[in-house]
């Protein structure tokens, strides 16, 4: 196996609230290999976005309590702010859910897309703009020379997301973190952006972390996925294996609860009971146990660690670690 490009080791990120410390990310570890697309799925509040922000050290007001983020042999959690500025945008780029708020409304789009080049490579305005226009064309913005003169509000949502991707790619970063990049977009536009991300991954070889709540999106985009729940990784493995034989009851139940376009017959959905947990007041033991159909006594007592279950997958579940198959009515 190749050397991982990015390695997150036992990351803990906490937030201070009125009701006490909230463990938004609670011991997350994973690797990202060169050129791969890794999916991180989970519901709101599961810690997937905070994990990404922590890698970029943009987690404020959160606090990285412990853990390491190894990137090219360096621990980013120990890097100075100046060093981080070099990493951000140049080596690791990030795109967000809402492309409107990520672009500055008072600057011309081309100027903004060129900004990382002026910042990181010290290029002059003309040279950086030419390169930016070139990149805008590559991400599928028609008549890029003219559109570079426009302001962000003159673009549609999908086009703005393309602009964001172009901006992220100008400095040819090695890692692209896409945090719910298509959630705010319509499905046909989502398909365009996902297609673009696939294309970027192939053409530039950019390793991508795709964060989403949409299981369908990861199914089509990622070779490997991580499932998060309440700040922890509950399951990880090759996408085909995780979807075919989920080894954590949460993944298992989630896959059964969503309606599928290709469903042959109309059957009632099988929802997951209960509510997503409140991070301030997590259940004891496994955070999923109150909603779990397979729970055993141990689940409410001890927190299961993420361990190998089966040939290719990792799961943090006492039940599957003991060798039980997940089956249900």
Q: Could you tell me the smallest distance in angstroms from the CB atom of residue 88 to other proteins?
A: 28
Do β-strands 175-179 and 92-95 pair in parallel, antiparallel, or remain unpaired? parallel
Q: Is 245 in the site for other proteins (CB under 8 A)?
A: no
Give the range of 55-63, 155-163, 201-209, 297-305 binding other proteins by CB under 8 A. 155-163
Q: Is 106 in the site for other proteins (CB under 8 A)?
A: no
Do β-strands 37-41 and 175-179 pair in parallel, antiparallel, or remain unpaired? unpaired
> For the chain, how far is it from start to end, CA to CA, in angstroms?
39
Q: Is 310 in the site for other proteins (CB under 8 A)?
A: no
Q: Which is nearer to other proteins, 211 or 215 (CB)?
A: 215
Report the chain's C-alpha Rg in angstroms: 21
Report the C-alpha gap between 181 and 190 in whole angstroms. Answer: 8
Q: Could you tell me the smallest distance in angstroms from the CB atom of residue 264 to other proteins?
A: 8
Q: Could you tell me the smallest distance in angstroms from the CB atom of residue 290 to other proteins?
A: 6
- Compute CA distances 301 → 46, 272, 273, whole Å: 21, 21, 20
| Residue among 24, 33, 29 nearest 1 (CA) | 33
Residue positions counted in the chain = 329
Q: Could you tell me the smallest distance in angstroms from the CB atom of residue 276 to other proteins?
A: 6
Q: Could you tell me the smallest distance in angstroms from the CB atom of residue 61 to other proteins?
A: 14
Q: Which is nearer to other proteins, 57 or 160 (CB)?
A: 160
> Are the CB atoms for 163 and 116 separated by under 8 Å?
no
Q: Is 144 in the site for other proteins (CB under 8 A)?
A: no
| Residue among 36, 27, 26, 39 nearest 6 (CA) | 36
Question: Please, how many CA atoms are within 13 Å of residue 182, restricted to the half-sphere of its CB?
Answer: 21
Q: Which is nearer to other proteins, 46 or 69 (CB)?
A: 46
Report the C-alpha gap between 173 and 94 in whole angstroms. Answer: 10
Figure out which of the listed residues 17, 20, 43, 74 binds other proteins, where binding follows CB under 8 A.
43
Residues 6+ apart with CB under 8 A from 144: 133, 134, 136, 137
Q: Which is nearer to other proteins, 66 or 257 (CB)?
A: 257
Figure out which of the listed residues 44, 60, 73, 122 binds other proteins, where binding follows CB under 8 A.
44
Q: Could you tell me the smallest distance in angstroms from the CB atom of residue 155 to other proteins?
A: 9
Q: Locate 70 and state its tokens.
A: 């190894």
Count CB-CB contacts under 10 A for residue 259.
Answer: 8
Number of residues that bind other proteins (CB under 8 A): 48
Q: Could you tell me the smallest distance in angstroms from the CB atom of residue 89 to other proteins?
A: 27
Give the range of 68-76, 113-121, 182-190, 317-325 binding other proteins by CB under 8 A. 182-190
Q: Where do contacts with other proteins occur on this chain (CB under 8 A)?
A: 43-44, 156, 158-159, 186-192, 194-195, 213-217, 219-220, 239-240, 243-244, 253-255, 257-264, 266, 268-276, 290-291
């Amino acid at each position: 196996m190749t050397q991982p490009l990015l390695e997150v080791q036992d990351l803990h990120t906490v937030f201070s609230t009125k009701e006490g410390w909230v463990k938004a990310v609670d011991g997350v570890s994973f690797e990202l290999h060169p050129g791969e697309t890794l999916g991180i799925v989970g519901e709101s509040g599961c810690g997937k976005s905070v994990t990404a922000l922590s890698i970029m050290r943009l987690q404020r007001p959160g606090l990285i309590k412990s853990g390491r983020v190894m990137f090219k042999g360096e621990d980013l959690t120990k890097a100075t702010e100046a060093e981080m500025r070099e990493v951000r945008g140049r080596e690791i780029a990030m795109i967000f859910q809402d492309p409107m708020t990520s672009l500055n409304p008072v600057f011309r789009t081309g100027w903004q897309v060129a900004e990382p080049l002026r910042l990181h490579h010290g290029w002059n305005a003309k040279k950086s703009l030419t390169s930016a226009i070139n990149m805008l064309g590559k991400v599928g913005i028609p008549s890029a020379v003219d559109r570079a003169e426009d302001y962000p509000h003159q673009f549609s949502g999908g086009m703005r997301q393309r602009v964001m991707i172009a901006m992220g790619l100008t400095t040819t970063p090695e890692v692209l973190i896409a945090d719910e990049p298509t959630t705010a977009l319509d499905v046909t536009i989502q398909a365009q952006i996902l297609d673009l991300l696939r294309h970027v991954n192939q053409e530039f070889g950019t390793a991508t972390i795709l964060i989403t709540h949409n299981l369908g999106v990861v199914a089509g985009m990622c070779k490997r996925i991580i499932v998060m729940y309440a700040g922890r990784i509950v399951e990880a493995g090759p996408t085909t294996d995780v979807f075919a034989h989920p080894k954590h009851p949460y993944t298992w139940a989630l896959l059964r609860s969503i309606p599928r376009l290709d469903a042959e017959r109309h059957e009632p959905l099988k929802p997951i009971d209960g509510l997503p947990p409140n991070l301030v007041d997590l259940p004891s033991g496994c955070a999923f146990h109150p909603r779990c159909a397979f729970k055993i006594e141990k689940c409410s007592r001890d927190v299961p660690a993420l361990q190998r279950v089966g040939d290719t997958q990792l799961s943090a579940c006492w039940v599957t670690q003991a060798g039980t198959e997940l089956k249900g009515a």
